[in-house]
Amino acid sequence: GFYSGSPSLDLYNGMALAAKENTIVVNINYRLGPFGFLYLGHDSPVPGNMALLDQQLALRWIHENIGSFGGDPTRVTLFGESAGSASTTAHIFAPGSYQYFNKIIASVEADSVSSDIGLPMVFPFGPVRADKNFFRGDVFERLRTRNFKKDVSIIIGTVKDEGTYWLPYYMYPHGFRFNHTISAEDPQNKALITREQYRQAMQAFMPYFGNSPLVKHALLHAYESVSERQSKA
């Protein structure tokens, strides 16, 4: 994310992808939170988007050195999900990044949202849409005038059941547990939770939706237990 995470985590280990697809996988570190995204004005010593510049410098290094590892600097694909997806697409609008890649894969789904419809800002520090150092202008204006990298192949989509992977991380106290030492098909790894545990889990997510009663009602009734479905059959 823009505020946490590291390529050193097992979650981002690229060995399987490299072995299966015959590719070279490079994970990039960049500054997080205020160290990477604090913005105090265009002409200040803290102009924002420093983290994106970190990424850009890493892309330059890859461009200049990947040949030494058997790679091809003319066949570089950027890919990511969540903050990684936002970062990936950001480089399409950054002139300084154009020469360093020619393909992107972005995992995105949600429409842009605004606090004026009652949703909170999940990332207090994120990319600044207009700057002098990375985008060198306003992203929205670049999009309107089609002033962005066009010689690029793009795949945009989602991963089925992607959220399932994260449940043991965020919902462990509510019964969503996964034991890596046993089979994924073992009943212990099926997250067979009670209705009350489901309610508690949904309540934990409410701050992301501005504690909206409407959203809470929808989430609590999105799933029915097997017994409830059978009783209606």
Number of neighbours of residue 44 by Cβ within 10 angstroms: 10
* Within-domain flag for 232: no
Number of domains in the chain: 2
> Domain range spanning residue 204?
162-226
Q: Say what percent of the chain tops pLDDT 90.
A: 40
* Within-domain flag for 233: no
* Within-domain flag for 5: no
* Within-domain flag for 4: no
Three-class secondary structure of residue 215 per DSSP: helix
Which amino acid type is present at position 10?
A: D
Out of 136-140, 168-172, 223-227, 229-233, the most confident range is 136-140
- 149 and 169 both lie in a single domain: no
- 148 and 175 both lie in a single domain: no
DSSP string, 138-167: EHHHHHHTT-S--S-EEEEE--TTHHHHHH
Number of neighbours of residue 92 by Cβ within 10 angstroms: 20
| Span 185-209, average pLDDT | 82
Decide if 148 contacts 92 (C-beta within 8 A): yes
| Measured CA distances, 46 to 3, 37, 180 (Å) | 17, 9, 43
- 73 and 172 both lie in a single domain: no
- 135 and 24 both lie in a single domain: yes
Range with lowest mean pLDDT among 18-22, 23-27, 94-98, 203-207: 203-207
Decide if 143 contacts 93 (C-beta within 8 A): yes
